[in-house]
Structure 1
Amino acid sequence: MGAMQRVLVSGRVQQVGYRDYMVRKAQALGIRGWVRNLTDGRVEMLADGEDTALDAFLAASREGPMLARVEDVVAFPVEDRAVKGFTKRFTA
């Protein structure tokens, strides 16, 4: 059983298809949660799933799509309400 993770990604991660990339990865891995841009240029995600799936999801978040340049990924456990599926949200 995995722990829900809040993930903050910095670098060149906006306007390069990063959120769509992470939605596809999450759906393929069975991760529940969401992804959104932040006004400071980072991307924020909430991810919930099994340990091995979360590990693979975090590894994918460090890669990103071809045009992205990920500089840092910070993930930490959080307690939040359960979510269904994985969605792309509006900028916060």
Structure 2
Amino acid sequence: MTARHLIVHGRVQGVFYRDWTVQTARSLGLTGWVRNLPDGTVEAHVEGPREAVEQMMAAMQDGPPRAAPTHIDSRNVDEGGFAEFARR
């Protein structure tokens, strides 16, 4: 198991990015959360099997059709023991 804290930059607010993140993370069996930040970025905590987390991070570089992520800041963090993946 691994956990990552992510900050996604680019056009990621107002384009269904959070809902898409929830759906994608749940489909990969991941837990954690996602939320908008006041500076226009999206913050997420993603945890689960390393391969699934890596898949999620790769998918987040593209996002849903109207999104245009430019880059993702990522760091390893401790697991939070979440029961599901939720939108905050």
TM norm structure 2 = 0.96
Runs of 4+ in 1 over 3 A off after TM superposition: none
For residues 18 and 29 of structure 1, the distance between their equivalents in structure 2, rounded to whole angstroms, comes to 16
Q: Match of 1:69?
A: 68
Q: Match of 1:42?
A: 41
Q: Judge conservation of contact 2:32–2:80 (CA < 8 Å) in 1.
A: no
Q: Match of 1:6?
A: 5
For structure 1, the 5+ residue unaligned runs are none
Q: Match of 2:23?
A: 24
Count of aligned pairs between the two proteins: 88
TM norm structure 1 = 0.92
1:18-45 CA deviation, whole Å, 9 max, x = no partner? 0011101101000100000000000000
Structure with a larger share of its residues in strand: 2
Q: Match of 2:83?
A: 84
For structure 2, the 5+ residue unaligned runs are none
The amino acid of 2:50's aligned partner reads D
